[in-house]
Amino acid sequence: MELSVKTFDLEAGKRFTVIINEKDMLKERIRPGDRVSVSGPLDTLTAFVNSTEKIVKEGEIGLFEEVSEKTGLKNKSIGKVEYSPPPNSVHSIRKKMNGGKLSNEQIYEIVRDIVEQNLSEAEIAAFLVAQQTIGMEMDEVESLTRAMADSGKKADYKKTTFTKHSIGGVPGDSKVSLINIPIVAAGGIFIPKTSSRAITSPSGTSDTMEVFAEVDFSIDEIKDIATKCGAALVWGGSLNMAPADDLLIRVERPLKLDPLSQMLASIMSKQVANSVDFMLLDVPVGIGAKVETEKEGKKIAAKFSELAERLGISFKAVLTYGGQPVGHAVGPALEAIETLMVLNNKGPPSVTEKAIALSGIMFEMAGLASSGQGDAIAKDILTSGRALTKFQEIVELQGGDPKVKPSDIQVGEKKFDILSKGDGYVTAVSNERICKIAHLAGAPKDKGAGIYLHKKVGHNAKKGEPIFTIYSESGKKLDDAIKFALKYAPYQIEGMIIEEI
Amino acid sequence: MELSVKTFDLEAGKRFTVIINEKDMLKERIRPGDRVSVSGPLDTLTAFVNSTEKIVKEGEIGLFEEVSEKTGLKNKSIGKVEYSPPPNSVHSIRKKMNGGKLSNEQIYEIVRDIVEQNLSEAEIAAFLVAQQTIGMEMDEVESLTRAMADSGKKADYKKTTFTKHSIGGVPGDSKVSLINIPIVAAGGIFIPKTSSRAITSPSGTSDTMEVFAEVDFSIDEIKDIATKCGAALVWGGSLNMAPADDLLIRVERPLKLDPLSQMLASIMSKQVANSVDFMLLDVPVGIGAKVETEKEGKKIAAKFSELAERLGISFKAVLTYGGQPVGHAVGPALEAIETLMVLNNKGPPSVTEKAIALSGIMFEMAGLASSGQGDAIAKDILTSGRALTKFQEIVELQGGDPKVKPSDIQVGEKKFDILSKGDGYVTAVSNERICKIAHLAGAPKDKGAGIYLHKKVGHNAKKGEPIFTIYSESGKKLDDAIKFALKYAPYQIEGMIIEEI
């Protein structure tokens, strides 16, 4: 059909949409959500259709800036509009929904259409739900990983490249990388580490690092930093590596969809794009962590291991204790302070031990330590201050102040101590509730917000003793956090005798 | 956060969307596709977020007309914007994805949120894919049916109400209702029949009826028509009965999703909304029909039967022969002509027999004929001309010309005969290819477009004899249809001796 163009002075993004009056839609048997081809003097393109009663009249088509520009259809010109069938990738998604196995080409096509925004969110959702309910074979996961990596930018450092990745879910864990990466870099491992910002957790590694320095760099800048000091601690979010991921997350997040196949592909595609040769995967296991049982942790680790082998990445996974927060500090500024304490050999043993253990394994993977000797090397680097020096080097190269002291880091001015209601031992600290309280207090958005845990599992607590302190930058947020903490205690404190009979 | 409002003079529909700069999104840890609450002087409402680099600047929020009006937030005023978690119905959808069973309340909540556009298309897709891959129990299907019916308008005729519904898929089938409904109405059955317009088939019952009369009426007008003559033949599309359906179809169609549970609920919710007491379901079975095997047909019929019983609808299903088009005419005008031929007792036996058989069963269901006697009554009504009189009555009440003759109906002026390439017998006519050719010729959009089949399965065809004629209103469309027909013959013609050995 031919329609008169009405342009809207608005950029509507890469997923093209046009607006057609519902009477024309009915006449042409086009449904909202269908695709049409729109032809103008410059080009023909495919767009999704929205129907309207009013925005455009019968005989008109509403075009946003991009479509108007690309087709060359100006206001009041005449555009040719025809129904256009869904692309092949939609057939492949349907095949997966019906239990079929997708070929390498089909998966590349799906990923390309996701990145080029040729698929609607409903179609992307169908792909994700089919992954969750039907599942994918490892061949398919490998294709998905490679397709995602190939769809974006890549970094090649021309050096044997390491990474350590935690699948996350445990508050306080973000700081471990800020200790572990300087240790291994000081020991000669090349590790340009990209990490994420937290969405629901109290702090991501990038959030904590940002307390010290910049984290938003281009690939070339990261290369430069890493070439100079052997490491980087940067945000991976703006690098356009594996760009399909953002478009998938947009659909996954409201539905809390996280099919294992997609998690494998998301994490590993970024390693492929970052030319990683060696990878250590940290799988925290415990109630309230992403992985709740050892059995599940082993299953996931085995899948990652199989995929890494197919991708030519030397791989090791460790299950770590994730039953309570890591260390005492939760939230960007508080974790930054704890990072400096550990690097100055004044930190809590649990964080120190975790960082040393991960580093030791990496030295052994790299052949820089013989089996069982990695820990000693890592410990020596930490205690000798060489890890601190390396960290300061990274901070300086990323535009921060290398001489920053714990007392220079500002935490939230509003704070509140939660006291023990009785005498006893801490038998549990809830990851979820600690996250929620830190989140209510303002973390990770407000860098100074968070929680300091005075007591951890196994510690003795006396009635009236502070068990944790909530920090916030806002009185209102502090109140919300306190209210929640008093209603849903994140601690269990019990006497040694649980019940007398 | 507080943002300065930038209004856009554009209605963006019932599914509210706001636009926020990506820097603010990052700061607030809000992702595209998340929901936010937007508060202004008049009201607080929930909207989906789109991120932008340019449309609005940092510190601004873009609002379309509806959101601006409802919240009272005018251009350059300050709106309060906070992250808002997904509604409960999203949790229920997740439960279904994980294999859970939904309660009546959960399903009502999902349907309400679909109708009120509180769910994104991705979330609706997740619900549909989970129905397809996980499935629904009959309890859930019943809830879904009732929820869909309760979410829209209802008609109550205060009379025992019949309907006949075909699950479709066979070209030429649309005319059967135009013969069957007048027969049963003339015999005393009250049948205000709503039907659909075709999307991919060459003609829906409403499309064919529209050749004779208007089909777009309000519920009150339909009541009026049906009260006067005991029947109606109208379009159900604009009645706002079971409105969730349109929003679901929008997602189903590009993905060709049609989970059985949703098909059951869609069809039956409209019967509940239309206060149907008795229902005959026609399940055409054959290659290229919606249902390809008798086994599958029986399974589907049993599901419908179980659901109808739960809904208090007296129900019968018949499997009919759907291996080739019904009758000789395919397309609105051609089928309208064939309808008049049958009503004048000059039509092809297959159409006549199907209409009589369906009508006979309905008379028996209604207790107006004893078992096995329904056919005779139906035949008598047709041959005596009472069915024609009733049809003319309906046409007149719906604003058409009751005296219309076959020769008054205009078919496409461009036509082309496809000739037999050899001598033999027609062994197959492909439903799909006939649909495709009719569609290319312009049906159902162009009323005069379609196909007339001179030969059907079992007929003898001599070399050079016309086997079918394509009609079109446009030379270009006729060419496209001819090209396809010559490349992909919709006929198989074979000698009695298939192979000599």
Q: Cβ of B97 and A129 within 8 Å? A: yes
pLDDT tens-place string over residues A19-58? 999 899 988 888 888 999 999 999 999 999 988 888 899 9
- Which residues in chain B are contacts of A47 at CB distance < 8 A? none
pLDDT at A88: 95
Say whether B258 is catalytic.
yes
Q: Cβ of A50 and B93 within 8 Å? A: no
pLDDT tens-place string over residues A154-164? 999 999 999 99
Per-window interface: B 241-270 vs A, CB < 8 A? 249-251, 253-257
Low-confidence ranges of chain B (pLDDT < 70): 496-501
**Residue to test with chain A: of B9, B54, B133, B216, most A Cβ within 10 A:** B133
Chain B nearest C-alpha distance from A420 (Å): 32
Cβ-in-10-Å burial (0-12, 13-18, 19+) of A165 comes to buried
Q: Cβ of B199 and A29 within 8 Å? A: yes
pLDDT at A422: 86
- Quick one: which of B338, B361, B389 has its CA closest to B231? B389
- Quick one: which of A235, A223, A261 has its CA closest to A147? A261
A201: pLDDT strictly greater than 90? no
B189 touches A at CB < 8 Å: no
- Asked whether the beta carbons of B287 and A158 are under 8 A apart, the reply is no
- Which residues in chain B are contacts of A27 at CB distance < 8 A? 445
CATH 2.40.40.20 in chain A: give the residue spans.
Answer: 2-84
CATH 3.90.1170.30 in chain A: give the residue spans.
Answer: 414-494
Q: What is the CATH number of domain B2-84?
A: 2.40.40.20
- Quick one: which of B165, B235, B218, B230 has its CA closest to B192? B230
A153 phi and psi, to 5 degrees?
Answer: -75, 160
CATH 3.40.1030.10 in chain A: give the residue spans.
Answer: 162-237+275-397
CA-based R_g, chain B, Å: 26
Cβ-in-10-Å burial (0-12, 13-18, 19+) of B385 comes to middle
Marked catalytic residue, from A258, A380, A423, A479: A258
pLDDT tens-place string over residues A401-413? 999 999 999 999 9
Mean of the pLDDT values across residues A213-237? 95
Using DSSP bridges, classify how beta strands B44-52 and B35-39 pair: parallel, antiparallel or unpaired: antiparallel
A90 touches B at CB < 8 Å: yes
Mean of the pLDDT values across residues A428-442? 94
CA A487 – CA A480 distance, rounded (Å): 11
pLDDT at A499: 54
- Which residues in chain A are contacts of B129 at CB distance < 8 A? 97, 125-126, 129-130, 133
How far is CA A33 from each of CA A47, A48, A50, A121, A175, rounded to the nearest angstrom? Answer: 9, 6, 6, 10, 45
A88-135 fold: 1.20.970
A81 touches B at CB < 8 Å: no
A199 touches B at CB < 8 Å: yes
pLDDT at A155: 93
CA B381 – CA B369 distance, rounded (Å): 13
Helix pair angle (A104-115, A138-150), 10° resolution: 40
- Asked whether the beta carbons of A171 and A434 are under 8 A apart, the reply is yes
- Read off the amino acid at residue B401: D
- Asked whether the beta carbons of B406 and B463 are under 8 A apart, the reply is no
Task: Look at chain A and count its residues.
Answer: 501
How far is CA B394 from each of CA A99, B239, B275, B390, B399, rounded to the nearest angstrom? Answer: 48, 19, 21, 6, 9
pLDDT at A496: 63
B287 touches A at CB < 8 Å: no
A13: pLDDT strictly greater than 80? no
| E strands, B29-77, in order | 35-39, 44-52, 60-64
Chain A nearest C-alpha distance from B489 (Å): 22
pLDDT tens-place string over residues A348-367? 998 999 999 999 999 999 99
pLDDT at A45: 94
pLDDT at A190: 98
Q: Cβ of A250 and B31 within 8 Å? A: yes
**What is the residue-averaged pLDDT of chain A?**
93
pLDDT at A375: 95
A126 touches B at CB < 8 Å: yes
| Closest CB to B121 among A120, A133, A253 | A120
Per-window interface: A 420-479 vs B, CB < 8 A? 444-445
| Closest CB to B129 among A126, A254, A444 | A126
Cβ-in-10-Å burial (0-12, 13-18, 19+) of A115 comes to buried
CATH class of B162-236+270-397: alpha beta
Mean of the pLDDT values across residues A203-228? 96
A414-494 fold: Aldehyde Oxidoreductase; domain 3 (3.90.1170)
Give pTM, 2 decimals.
0.89
Marked catalytic residue, from B139, B150, B216, B258: B258
CA A152 – CA A166 distance, rounded (Å): 23
Chain A nearest C-alpha distance from B450 (Å): 16
A162-237+275-397 fold: Pyrimidine Nucleoside Phosphorylase; Chain A, domain 2 (3.40.1030)
Cβ-in-10-Å burial (0-12, 13-18, 19+) of B2 comes to exposed
How far is CA B150 from each of CA B96, B260, B269, B272, B446, rounded to the nearest angstrom? Answer: 22, 20, 8, 9, 35
- Indicate the range of A67-81, A110-124, A238-252 predicted with least confidence: A238-252
Q: Cβ of B27 and A445 within 8 Å? A: yes
Tokens standing for residue A297 = 């942790």
| Closest CB to B29 among A10, A29, A199 | A199
Per-window interface: B 366-395 vs A, CB < 8 A? none
| Closest CB to B250 among A32, A124, A250 | A32
